[in-house]
């Protein structure tokens, strides 16, 4: 199963690289007062890297949250004293 997963990830990465190479023209990027001309391929790689990092951070946050959650503590019942009636 792990080998199939690796092949699928490699195929997706290869398709992504081909897509980036085919979109190498320059584009204008404007954000608020900041503007710059950047290659569309570079812009897509930056967006993919940022998305990957956000995904990794979200995954590590959720997995660390699961580790820190404790099981509910069981209430220890106090022994009852039997008094003769």
Q: pLDDT tens string for the chain (85 positions)?
A: 788 888 999 999 899 888 878 888 899 988 898 898 988 888 888 888 999 899 889 888 777 666 665 555 566 666 666 666 5
b/e sequence 27-63, b meaning 16+ C-beta within 10 Å: eeeeeeeeeeeeeebebeeeeeeeeeeeeeeeeeeee
Identify the pLDDT of residue 50: 93
C-alpha Rg value of the chain to the nearest Å: 27
pTM of this structure: 0.50
CA distance 32 to 13: 32
């Amino acid at each position: 199963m792990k080998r199939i997963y690796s092949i699928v990830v490699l195929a997706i990465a290869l398709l992504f690289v081909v897509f980036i190479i085919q979109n190498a023209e320059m584009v204008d990027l404007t954000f608020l007062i900041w503007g710059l001309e950047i290659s569309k391929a570079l812009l897509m790689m930056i967006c993919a890297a940022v998305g990957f990092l956000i995904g990794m951070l979200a995954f590590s946050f959720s997995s660390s949250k699961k580790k820190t959650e404790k099981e509910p503590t069981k209430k220890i019942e106090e022994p009852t004293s039997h008094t003769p009636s």
